[in-house]
Each structure stands twice: as structure tokens, then as C-alpha cells.
Amino acid sequence: MREYLLTLCVTAAVTYLLTGPVRKFAIVAGAMPEIRARDVHREPTPRLGGIAMFFGLCAGLLVADHLTNLSEVFKNSNEPRALLSGAALIWLIGVLDDKFEIDALIKLGGQMIAAGVMVMQGLTILWLPIPSVGNVALTQWQGTLLTVALVVITINAVNFVDGLDGLAAGMVCIAAAAFFLYAYRIWYSYGIEAAAPATLFSAILMGMCIGFLPHNMHPARIFMGDSGSMLIGLVLSAGAISITGQVDPDALQLFLKSEKAAVHSTVPVYIPLLLPLTIIAVPTADLVLAIVRRTWKGQSPFAADRGHLHHRLLEIGHSHSRAVLIMYFWSALIAFGALSYSVNSASMWIVLGIVFLSAIGLLLLLLPRFTPRAPRWAQHLVPPRYRRRGAAVEPVVVLAEEDRDPRPPVVAGVSGVNGATAVGPRSRLLDGRKAESSR
């Protein structure tokens, strides 16, 4: 676990430190498109945040390659190299799109090529665990088509949900955290080494998102752009493909006593192949709804609009930050609910807990204009929008004993009792009073 945490921290640190210089480079390069009708930000913001995220990915893989235990992943598997090859290709396409806005069909073709590159290097689905059937082997063409479809759908699901500050990075980080816990359990609890690459990919993906989020939270100083959203979507799909297509459920029979139990233990992983990715079910649902909505209107499925889930949250009255937190909540509920179900699918408490949290989520959706208020004792510790009315923190002026005046104190920029406003700094007021008293 310590090596995974070290890899995560290095990835996050490199991503965080590079995002500032990348922002300046994006401004110089002119990667600041004008505000479009579907945008929610009010001023042009630089893109190309995916550059920092990609170098964070490279740093994470480089560090992992030199660690004692994680280096075995590179020796026993070609999947890290396959991931890096596909990530480099999809990242280059994203950088070109952030700068020149290339056609959607060209991007789709690039996504399929990147997925094909990973398949050629061994990162592919070999079999599927099917409930009540068991382990079903796939032909080469079936595995290739299924892998490419999963990669393309996941990339576009993440790309479609990247519409608010911090939304895509936060949701993918939540999904990666749940996936990391599942893969780590398969790897260390059952001793199945085939789950090691997926565990590594999830740790690196968390680091990429954590390092970028401080720069991307509302109000965002930089956007990840397609170079970032398509990159993290590809890394997330690579982890799902690795653990689903490489971990044989038959190996779990040694620990779970039966093939049926082994198949059901992989529920949170093989369900993503059907939807695809239960752990990002919210952006996947947004993707499906967007395609249906645009096709129904006679538009291209890739034509951008303001009909996404996060846009609807803003329309019904939620603030920008509140809409992002609601999307975080639903993503965490689905991802960690599936994780809990995989640990103990017979527990009724898990089902009741998910139902209870779902009710809370629905309640939050129905209260768009509710703003939580901090207690009076915490007024000085929270932003002004969370303070109670009439409890605003007033500026405090401390004067020396000889400088005190029976009249109300006047602070620069603050109106006095008679409506006059000081125009100079506080030091000038004190100097004037001293001069007047010395006459």
C-alpha cells in the first residue's frame, strides 16, 4: 500500500506543480476560446490542462517502475506500456483539439486508433464472467471490438460530463478511488497478480485528478480540455479492461469455494461492460440522454448543447458549486455502493443504506435554493455566503490610547455615521488626528 500511496503522491505533485506553467503556456499559445452559448463561465479561460495531467501520468509510471514491488507489474505484464502508448496518442489528439478544435469524427477515429493500439499490445478483454453461466471465452475479434467499444464510450462519457468547474476531475477521482479499493482487494486478499496493473492505473488516475483539482475548482483558473478529459477517460477504461479481461473468475474459486460465488464477486467490474462502467454511471447516463436528445432533434450526436445533467441542475436553481457537489454525491453513492455490494452482497444493511442515501440525494435535488448556514460561533470561519444575516464580521480598528477619539472610528472604504467615506488609508487619519491634537 505504501508504494501505491507514494506513486499517487508523486503523480499528484507533478500534476499540481506543472498546471501553473501550463496555464501560462496556454495563454501564450492562444488556447483560450471565446465564450460559447453553452458555456457557464463568464470570461475566457485557458485550456490544455491535460498537458500537466499527462506528465503526471508519465511520472507515476516512472516512479512505479523503480519501486520494489510495483516494478514486478512492468516485468510480468505489457499493460503499462500499452496504456502509455494509447494515452500518448489520445493526448496528442486532445491537445490539437484544444488549440484548433478539430472535427468530432476525427476525434472519434483517433479514439478508436488509441484503443486499437492498446489492444495490439495486450490490453484487451479475453473473457467475460456471466452470472449463472460462468466464464465465457471470447474470440480475438470479439475481444477487440468489445475493448474498443468500452474505451470509446468511457472517453466520451467523461468528455460529455466535463461542463462545470471541477466536475469531471472530481467524478473520475471518486470512480478511481472505488475501483482502486476493489482491485487492491482482488490483488492482495486473493493473491491474484493479474489485478496489479488495474490497481496501479487507479492509483495514478487518482493522483492526476487530485493534482489538477485545486486549479480547476470554481472559479477555475484553467480547464483540462479534451486533452485532459479524454486522457482520464482512457485511463479509467484501461483499469476496467485490465481487471475484467485478465482476472480469471476460476482463480477465485480457490477462495470462494464455487464458480457461482466467483462470478458474483466480480459484479462491480463486469457490469461496466454492459452499461459501460457502473462506477461512472452518472456521466454514462448523461451520454445516453445527450445522444437520444440530439438525435430526436435531428442534430448530430456530437453537437454540443446545454441539455446535460449539470446544465439542468443550474436551470432549476442550484448554484455552480452545489450542482458539482450533487453530481459528486450521486457518483460516490453508485461507485461505493457497488463496491460494498461486492464485499457482502447478502447484507440487507447495504441495500437499506443505499436507499437511505438515495432519499437524501433526492431531497437535495428538491431544495435548489436552500443555503446551509453556519452556527453563530463559526461565523468567522466560513465564507460570507454561509453566514447568517446580521452576523457579518465587521472590521475592527484598534487605536493607541492617545489616538482614541469619542467619535465613531472611520476606516478606509467604510462609510461612517454621517455617510462620509474615508478616501485615504488609516495611517493618514491617525496622522491628521495627531497633528490636530498638537496644535
d(CA 82, CA 77) in angstroms, rounded, equals: 10
Ranges of H-type helices in 247-280: 249-256, 259-265, 267-274
Confidence of residue 396 (pLDDT cuts 50, 70, 90): very low
Contacts of 439 (CB under 8 A, 6+ apart): none
Q: Helices 196-216 & 50-65, crossing angle to 10 degrees?
A: 140
Percent with pLDDT over 70 in the chain: 62
DSSP state of 137: E
Above 50 in pLDDT, residue 64?
yes
d(CA 274, CA 270) in angstroms, rounded, equals: 7
Section 332-345 average pLDDT = 74
Residue 104 has a pLDDT of: 84
Section 195-213 average pLDDT = 92
Q: What does residue 120 show for φ and ψ, rounded to 5 degrees?
A: -65, -25
Above 90 in pLDDT, residue 255?
no
44 close to 34: Cβ distance less than 8 angstroms: yes
Above 80 in pLDDT, residue 235?
yes
Confidence of residue 96 (pLDDT cuts 50, 70, 90): very high
Distances (CA, A) of 297 to 286, 287, 291, 293: 16, 16, 10, 6
Q: What is the full DSSP assignment across 89-132?
A: HHHHHHHHHHHH---HHHHHHHHHHHHHHHHHTT-S--EEEETT
Contacts of 385 (CB under 8 A, 6+ apart): 371
Query: Which residue's C-alpha cell is 462545470?
Result: 164
Above 50 in pLDDT, residue 7?
yes
DSSP-based three-state secondary structure for 412: strand
Above 70 in pLDDT, residue 337?
yes
- Label residue 270 exposed, middle or buried (CB < 10 Å: 0-12, 13-18, 19+): buried
- Greatest mean pLDDT among 47-56, 175-184, 306-315: 47-56
The β-bridge partners of 136 are 128
Distances (CA, A) of 202 to 79, 199, 213, 399, 415: 13, 5, 16, 57, 55
| Other residues' Cβ atoms within 10 Å of the Cβ of residue 330 | 20
For the chain, the maximum distance between any two Cα atoms, rounded to a whole number of angstroms, is 100
Section 5-11 average pLDDT = 95
Section 59-65 average pLDDT = 94
Q: How far apart are the first and last CA of the chain?
A: 75
d(CA 40, CA 35) in angstroms, rounded, equals: 8
Distances (CA, A) of 99 to 17, 27, 43, 48: 22, 11, 17, 8
Q: What is the pTM of this model?
A: 0.73
Residue 50 has a pLDDT of: 93
- How much of the chain is helix, strand and coil, in % rounded to 5? 70, 5, 30
